[in-house]
């Protein structure tokens, strides 16, 4: 994403996030993000419920949208 969109959106933080690991250990603060994008990845994790809970912890109170086909 950063290669394709970083120049047009310099205010966006691009970072990989391993949904199978705790976000705290990856330097990702709870409620530290306005948006988290996850496309075709949540269904491939070890535990979908736990992965969604980790995503919820990262974003400020808002709507969470995932696109998993």
Backbone phi, psi, residue 67, to 5°:
-120, 90
**What's the pLDDT tens digit per position in 21-65?**
999 999 999 998 888 777 788 888 999 999 989 988 888 876 656
pLDDT recorded at residue 35: 80
Q: Please say whether the beta carbons of 20 and 51 come within 8 A.
A: yes
Is residue 8's pLDDT more than 90? yes
Dist CA 44 CA 31 (whole Å): 24
Residues 6+ apart with CB under 8 A from 27: none
Is this prediction's pTM over 0.95?
A: no
Phi, psi of 59 (to 5 degrees): -95, 150
């Amino acid at each position: 994403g950063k290669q394709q969109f970083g120049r047009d959106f310099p205010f966006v933080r691009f970072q990989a996030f391993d949904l199978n690991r705790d976000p705290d250990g990856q330097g990702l603060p709870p409620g530290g993000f306005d948006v988290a994008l996850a496309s075709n990845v949540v269904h491939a994790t070890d535990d979908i419920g736990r992965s969604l809970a980790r995503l919820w912890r990262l974003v400020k109170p808002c709507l969470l949208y995932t696109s998993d086909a």
